[in-house]
Chains A and B, each alone.
Chain A
Amino acid sequence: MEPDDEAAIASIAAGDRPATEDFVRKHGPWMLSVATRIVRDTHHAEDAVQNAFAKVFDNIGGFDGRSALKTWVHRIVVNESLMLMRKANRSRTVAIDELQPVFDNNGCRIEDRWMTMETPETLLVRSDIRAQVSGKIDLLPDNYRIILVLRDIEELTTQEVSQLLGISEANVKVRLHRARAALKRLLEPLVRGQAV
């Protein structure tokens, strides 16, 4: 465990308000960012973060340091966000089947030729790219979007996602691949270098 974390944990567990406030201001921004990605609603994301902090403070005395403090807090805010996700208002989503790869009767792929392909490094220089990518991810139906967010962006393992969502690892993998394939289609104009 980091020495700073150890000191913060001891102070928070002892009810030290300034130390608690420092902890909230230090970890709050990224926790709110995680919650917003999952819940997609500012109000519910703030509720999720508040609930997560309550869980963290209730259990911090028993934190055993087997994982990094941030990893432990991350799992808690993910869990709280998932609980609130279904309450959030849904914006429009796309039909996932319509974004899957297409094959002919011989099982051969039907794919428009890729004459040019922008690299992610080139695209990430653009100031609007993060908003564009997040906007496309948000178009995926929740049961696919959440798996892509947890696996590819929050970097949880297949096993962790499976446990959090209460579905089999095989199901996580199937949905992840379909979500990625759909996102590829949605991001194609950007990756092909076409103006968006």
Chain B
Amino acid sequence: MSRAAPTLMRRIHGMMFKLPLMITCEAFEDFILAYLEDELSARQRFVFEMHLKLCRECREYLAAYRASLELAKAGGKAPEETLPPVPDDLVKAVLDARNQ
């Protein structure tokens, strides 16, 4: 079973992330969507990627976020060729409604 980073490491990170051009993990979280959609300014992107280089928790979090997103996109719908045909009674209902 994996373990969260020890409290001391997080305290050191907490101090480091107060330096210029640094952001906290909490601020990093707010930029994830814009980062993935390529909507950050050059400066915001630099700051975001700087945090990513320094913070293992956020690197791992972002990798898992991306993996689950890919899984949702690919696994959220079945390929069309595997879908069952439309029930005959639905086809009939659609056609009957059309002919009324």
Contacts and interface: CB of A to CB of B under 8 A. Distances in A.
Partners in one complex: yes
Interface string A72-113: 000000000000000000000000000001011111111111
Contacts of B67: 117-120, 191
Contacts of B80: 29-30, 33
Contacts of B43: none
The listed residue with most A CB atoms (<10 A of its CB), out of B34, B58, B71, B91, is B71
B21 interface: no
Contact of B70 (A111, A115, A120): A120
A68 interface: no
Contacts of A105: 14
Nearest to B7: A104
A183 B98 contact: no
B57 A54 contact: no
Interface size class of B (residues with CB under 8 A): 35 or more
A50 B26 CA distance: 46
Nearest to A149: B76
B16 to A, nearest CB: 10
Contacts of B14: 104-108
Nearest to A53: B94
Summarize A's interface: helix, strand, loop or mixed. helix
B2 to A, nearest CB: 4
Interface in B64-80: 64-65, 67-78, 80
A139 interface: no
A126 to B, nearest CB: 9
B57 A108 contact: yes
A124 B65 CA distance: 16
A106 B13 contact: yes
Interface string A143-162: 00000110011000000000
Given A106-B14, A184-B64, A28 B90 contact: yes
B60 A107 contact: no
B20 interface: no
A97 to B, nearest CB: 14
Interface in B47-100: 55, 57-58, 60-61, 63-65, 67-78, 80, 83-87, 90-91, 93-95, 97-99
Interface of A: 17, 20-21, 24-25, 28-30, 32-33, 37, 46, 49-50, 53-54, 57, 101, 103-115, 117-120, 123-124, 129-130, 132-134, 137, 148-149, 152-153, 173, 176-177, 180-181, 183-184, 187-188, 190-192
5 contacts: A50-B94, A103-B24, A134-B76, A180-B68, A190-B71
Given A109-B25, A110-B5, 13 more contacts: A30-B80, A101-B61, A107-B26, A109-B26, A109-B58, A110-B57, A111-B5, A114-B63, A120-B70, A124-B75, A183-B72, A184-B65, A192-B2
